[in-house]
Amino acid sequence: MINESKNYNELLNSLPFNVRNIIIKIPKNIKAKMEEIRLRINKPLMIHIDNQERFISSEGRIVDLADFAYRVTNDDCEKALQLISKSSIYAFEDEIKNGYITLKGGYRVGICGKCVLENGMIKTIINVSGFNYRIMRECIGVSDEIMRYILKQSDTIYNTLIISPPQCGKTTLLRDIARNISNGMKTLDFKGDNISIIDERSEIAACYKGDPQNDVGYRTDILDSCPKHLGILMMIRSMSPRVIITDEIGKIEDITAIHEAVNAGVNIITTVHGNDISDIIRKEYLNELISGKEFERYIILSKRKGAGTIESILDRDLKTIFKGPYRKDVD
C-alpha cells in the first residue's frame, strides 16, 4: 500500500497537477491497496488494485467505463517527465535508458516511448508516452516465520531460490529476508552477517542518490543498477560478503556467476519467475543449478491468499518441508 509516512509527498509531487489532484481524491481504503498508477497519452487514467486495472474518473472514483474516466493528455505526460527527472533529463539518462526512474521513498516510475539507439544499444527514450508509477510495498516482518527454514545453524544460511509468478511478492519477501539476515534474529540465536545486494533494477533497496529507501539491514552493502553477473563477482572480490542477494536470475551469465559464488563459499539467495519447481526444471541453464543441488531451499509463492502467499518450501532433494498456503499479514 501507499506508505504515507515514507516520502508520500515525493510520489504525489512527481505526478502532473491534474492527475495529482485526482489521486488525492481517491478514498483512503482504495489508496491503501493501490499497486500502480498508469498514465498513457490520450488514454484513460488507471490504477492497479486487487489484481485488476481500474479506470479512475476526474472525481477520484473507480468507474467501469473508459468513457467516464479522466483522459491523460499530452501535457500531462510532458509534465510527468519533467517532474520525475527534476527537469534534467540528462542527469537521469542512465536510468531512462533502462526504462525507469527511482524516486525518493523507493517509488519507481517505468517509462516507455521511442528508443534512440547508438551502436545497437539503447541510448535514451524520447517521445515518452506512458508511465507506470509503481507503489513501493515494504512489509517489515513478512519473512519472520520462514527464517527458520533458511538458517541452517546459528551462523550459516541455506542457498535459497524463491520461485514466483509476477506480482506475487517475491521482491518484498527477498528484501525482508535480507533485513533479517543482516540485522540478526534473537529468536533464532542468529547474530547477523554481512550481505551484498546486487540491485540491478533498483527494486530491492531502491537507492536514491546512493541512499537505500528500503530497510535492508545495517550489515548490507548495495551495488545499484549493476548487471547481476558482474555485480556478484565484484562484491565477492571487494566486500567479502557471507551472503549475496539478487533478484530475477535467468541468463547464462547469472548462472555462471552463481556457480563461482558458491564455489567461493558465499551463500546465494535469489529469485526467478515461475509457477512451481517443474517450471524451473524446464528452463535452460536453471536446471543445472537444481540438478547440481546448489540450492538447498526452494520457496514457492502464489497469490492464492494474496500477494506473498507461500505455497511450499522444498529442500535440495525437492522434498516438501513446509506445506502452505501461508501468508503473513503485516501492517
Q: Is the pLDDT of residue 303 over 50?
A: yes
Which residue's entry shows cell 522444498? 314
pLDDT, greater one: 257 or 92? 257
3-state secondary structure of 120: coil
pLDDT confidence band for 1 (50 / 70 / 90): very low
Question: Which grid coordinates belong to 126?
Answer: 524520447
**Residues linked to residue 161 through DSSP beta bridges, in sequence order:** 270, 298
Q: So what's the pLDDT on residue 20?
A: 96
Burial class of residue 92 in the structure, from the number of CB atoms within 10 Å of its CB (0-12 exposed, 13-18 middle, 19+ buried): middle
Percent of the chain whose predicted confidence (pLDDT) is above 70 = 96
Sole residue written with cell 544499444: 121
Backbone phi and psi for residue 17, each to the nearest 5 degrees, phi listed first: -50, -50
Mean predicted confidence (pLDDT) in 138-148: 93
pLDDT tens digits along 173-229: 999 999 999 999 999 999 999 999 999 988 899 898 889 999 999 999 999 989 999
pLDDT at 88 over 80: no
Average pLDDT over residues 78-84: 93
What pLDDT is stored for residue 66 in this prediction?
96
For residue 99, pLDDT beyond 70: yes
Please report the pLDDT score of residue 201 as a whole number.
87
CA distance 133 to 271: 23
DSSP assignment string, 195-229: EEEEETTS-SS-EETTEESS---TTEEEEET--HH
Q: Report pLDDT for 84.
A: 92
At 106, the pLDDT band (50, 70, 90 cuts) reads: confident
Which residue would you say has higher pLDDT here, 153 or 49?
49
Give per-residue pLDDT as tens, 168-186. 999 999 999 999 999 999 9
Instruction: Please report which confidence band the pLDDT of residue 283 belongs to, taking 50, 70 and 90 as the band edges.
Output: confident
Q: Which residue has the higher pLDDT, 118 or 186?
A: 186
As a whole number, mean pLDDT of residues 28-52 equals: 92
Q: Please give the pLDDT value at position 326.
A: 94
The CATH number of domain 8-134 is 3.40.50.300:
no
Average pLDDT over residues 53-63: 97
Stretch 144-156: mean pLDDT? 88
Nearest to 165 by CA among 295, 6, 308, 327: 308
What pLDDT does 5 receive? 44
Identify which has the larger pLDDT, 93 or 260: 260
Instruction: Give 106: exposed, middle or buried? Use CB within 10 Å, 0-12, 13-18, 19+.
Output: buried
pLDDT at residue 83 greater than cutoff 60? yes
The pLDDT value recorded for residue 91 is: 60
**Averaged pLDDT, 136-165:** 90
Domain parsing of the chain, residue ranges: 8-134, 144-326
Give the residue-averaged pLDDT of 157-174: 94
CATH class of 144-326: alpha beta
pLDDT > 80? residue 92: no
Mean pLDDT within 277-281: 92
